[in-house]
Structure 1
């Protein structure tokens, strides 16, 4: 019986650690990389480059190659801080070109089942930023999951005594959707967050 070489087994094992990658997908990816040595070399060089060059911004904790990041060092509205769960969320908001303030990356959400409490997040650093003054509004942009909502409520309760404006991203029926196909919870959120015309 033919067995996998140990190096291939190790590669498959490492690929399986990626989100959404199981044994079969990891094996398929590994064989693809073996068939194209130039891709394997480029991937390994890219991974080493990311490891050596990418780090967290010392101000907002977004991933960056420069410290501070381009947003914190740039000409943004420093009076508004948008709090996000991770750098992927920050990038999604930036793609919209609709927000011109600064950010604060929590690096997660409160999740008691996963053993993540407020002290494991970048909440103390957020409070320190606000404490230095000049912040008028905090936009809470955590995801609309149970953990994201719990984190948003925790932050709102923590920030309310500071006397700054606290807002939450709007949520509701997606643009282009038919109401009849939207779930009841989303319709409820949309009705509660309705705007006057």
Structure 2
């Protein structure tokens, strides 16, 4: 088995990725090897390039290949709105929707007393600095509807008394059926009801 050490190492590394276990990683590696020129070599090249060029945006925390991401560099996005998200995956999800045309701020998580995560461990002080420096008129909190997410949202709102702070609507998703929703979602939907 020593001759397969590199292959086993690749399987072990892939198995550590979210959503992949040892069996899925093994299947992926076998597929990559079978399609070496079509998938494996281009993947290895892309991993090398991204590994040497990817970095965190110094302004918002997004991932890009320069000190400032494309969103922060775009003057079209400087409309006075900042959408606050927990992590880069949330920012990318918002961008996929194509609806939000402002800028973002990635916190890097949520406040959590149990995990000893306070405001200084997150990018909350940087957010407060950006509000003044970028003439922000509205902060949109797009945080998860968990206890830690809501605690973080309340903390941020308290830090920004002179700026309009809003949050994403919560409640029944499009195509959702009441019978399949949890009590918290139904409660939030009822409280956030609007005129028909």
Q: Tell me which residue corresponds to 1:56.
A: 56
How is 1:1-197 mapped onto 2 (pairs within 5 angstroms)?
Answer: 5-38=4-37, 39-74=39-74, 75-132=76-133, 134-160=135-161, 163-197=162-196
CA distance in 2, matches of 1:147, 1:27: 36
TM-score by length of 1: 0.87
Report the Cα offset of residue 139 of structure 1: 0.6
Matched length:
194
Report the Cα offset of residue 144 of structure 1: 2.0
CA distance in 2, matches of 1:62, 1:33: 30
Cα distance 1:35–1:146, how it changes in 2: closer, same or farther (>3 A)?
farther
Q: Deviations over 1:159-180 (max 9, x none)?
A: 23xx111111111001122223
Report the Cα offset of residue 50 of structure 1: 1.0
> Which runs of 5 or more residues in structure 1 are unaligned?
none
Report the Cα offset of residue 3 of structure 1: 6.8
Please tell me whether the aligned partners of residues 140 and 167 of structure 2 are also in contact (alpha carbons under 8 angstroms).
Answer: yes
Q: Deviations over 1:122-166 (max 9, x none)?
A: 112111111325111111111223332232222222223xx1111
TM-score by length of 2: 0.88
Q: Deviations over 1:25-63 (max 9, x none)?
A: 222222222222222111111111111222222221211
CA distance in 2, matches of 1:76, 1:43: 32
> Which runs of 5 or more residues in structure 2 are unaligned?
none
CA distance in 2, matches of 1:178, 1:23: 36
Cα distance 1:99–1:117, how it changes in 2: closer, same or farther (>3 A)?
same
Q: Which moved more, 1:83-92 or 1:113-122?
A: 113-122
